[in-house]
Chain A
Amino acid sequence: MARVGDELTSGAELQELPAEEVPEVIDVVAAGAPPELVAQTLGGYLRAWGRRIRGGDSGALPVIFALAVIAVAFEVWTGGLFFSPGNLVNLFEASLVFMTLGMAEIFVLLLGEIDLSAGYVLAVGAGIAGLLVQKPGADLPWWLAVVIALLCTAVTGGLWGTLVARLHLPSFVVTLAGLLIMWGVMLVILGNAGAISISSPILTNQHVLYEFVNGEVPPLAGWIALAVLAAVFGTAVWTRDMGRRRRGLVAPPPGVTLVKIAIAVLAGVAVVAICNVNRGAVTAVVEGVPWVVPIVLAVLFLWMMLLQRTRFGRYVYAIGGNPDAARRAGVSLVRVRTWCFVLAGLTAGFAGIVYLSWQGGTSTNVNGGEYVLYGVAAAVIGGTSLFGGRGKVSQAVLGGLVIGAIYNGLYLQGVQVQWQLIATGGVLLAAVLIDTLSRRGALTGSVTRM
């Protein structure tokens, strides 16, 4: 902390204390503990990182590693089908529902609660939005249909949240009831038709919704957008980290910042490059990044800002970590908890829109019970704790990709659905196991003794 003391405005206070006090303190504190997070060089940072991983605090590493292993295994097993651009885009589109449902679950998982209704909330959201753009029928503008669907799903979330937060009912039971209720509601609103389609190319409102997932950004526009995004992201991260370093705050060394930016940009380049390969059949050209990618990214960014950079987000984590501490700090537990359920409902509704667009319609066959479990699994595989207080929205994206990759790979191999279920269950168990073991390691390993 001497590092910081140099520029303290209140440094004078240190000198006001009796001089003989200071050596005594140093006796006590074994003053040399190296600040691992304030390592000044790339090498020092890597060594500290290694220590942290050995201590069990591994962050996103296990899930990225798992994803790589799964991908390589399937690539070998399927004889090169897995990594074909067409398949990768398919895989990504199929993972979208898992990812977005995982994002929805993270809001409640962070509190240590759960939302079992999200799968059928998705189905209801898809049903409402789909019905509202039918012709003959309501034929509302597509954006209005989306807004109404999202409002409805947010309200259902608010209902569960109110019951959980105000009446202290267990969220497991409330949202289990919610699962059944929303299942029924889905059957009511889709009951007459049984299935609705939005894939008509001539009805504009249906077509716009359909194009979310099935339409592409023109390749050139994709590259330009990526360049702009990369420039903005790179500059923002660089100036933030360098500014913090200059002001003596905790920040990674410049090398690490550069590596971070480079990895993000390379990932973006890879996505755009893969999507821009023509993956169409012989007759049609299909190329470009699906519109849903920037849309999901925007939602991801929004929720990341909300959870990491606002008071509300801080309180969500605080309640998940220690509700008593949050209450004593003046946080309104009722309000924060209720809003988390609202946001979960809203995001599940968004997942419904994605589902509707991906499938080109919806039907009474949507298995919301299965989807919600995959949503929870996506969050947990990504590294979110079921016990509250630990997790990030971005982890749902990685976890959703893992589930999507398993499904896709086994499907390519012609493995039947029962084995897909068993494999996904195994990965979920492994994720929980890694999480629990690493936490145990983190608790015992990195405690600094004085």
Chain B
Amino acid sequence: MTLNEKIEKEPVLRLAGLTKRFGGIIATDHLDFDVRAGEIHGLIGPNGAGKSTLVAQIQGNLRPDEGSIIFEGRDITVEAPHRRAKLGVARSFQITSVFMGFTMLANVMMAVQAQAGHSMWFWKNTSMDSSLIDPAMELLELVGLTRSAQALAQNVSYGERRQLELAMALAMKPKLLLLDEPMAGMGRQDGGRMISLLETLKGRYSILLVEHDMDAVFTLSDRISVLVAGRCIATGSPEKIKSDAGVRDAYLGHKST
């Protein structure tokens, strides 16, 4: 095996024996799991399977009890969340979390600024700073928000705010994108737009996609993992997951009842 192949084989994210308990409840149970470079890895599972807890551990808001998180070959298990963000772990939140009193543009500019790493600048007026505005406008265009760039985040629709979350995550030039239910609470139309948006990102970013919308997950994902009670019961291509008897019992069958 050459060095190059070895690097390619090393996944962007690898979880080894990850465990998180809350009192007597095990939210994450000795989980082994990886996200490969350039893939969309779907993560599904019934409510309470520990999906959001897992995302929080990867992002760093929660500290695991056991196991390790390897990001690009580097152990980040105990790194602070803002340090992980600097390394390239970006997250969109399940419950929308943006700067509500900022304009859409200012939101993305904030993320661009954070990525650039020059935040102890005290003098230059950012509302005329093209090194922030230009990339931010590009991202707004990418997610289809050009028209509402000057609107305050608290005044736009829910769907637009979810798109904004994505633009902010992309502004960080992420090496790993954690999307926690990007379609949650969206109508058909907005949801459809989000799916085609994510499709354009396919291959360009390594994405961990947590989503309840089965159609979306099976359309978008290269691989899917099924999480039940904090354990990964199956990983594989969408076709393989569809035909997996264990998954049907534990999850898909559960859903149809």
Whether chains A and B associate is no
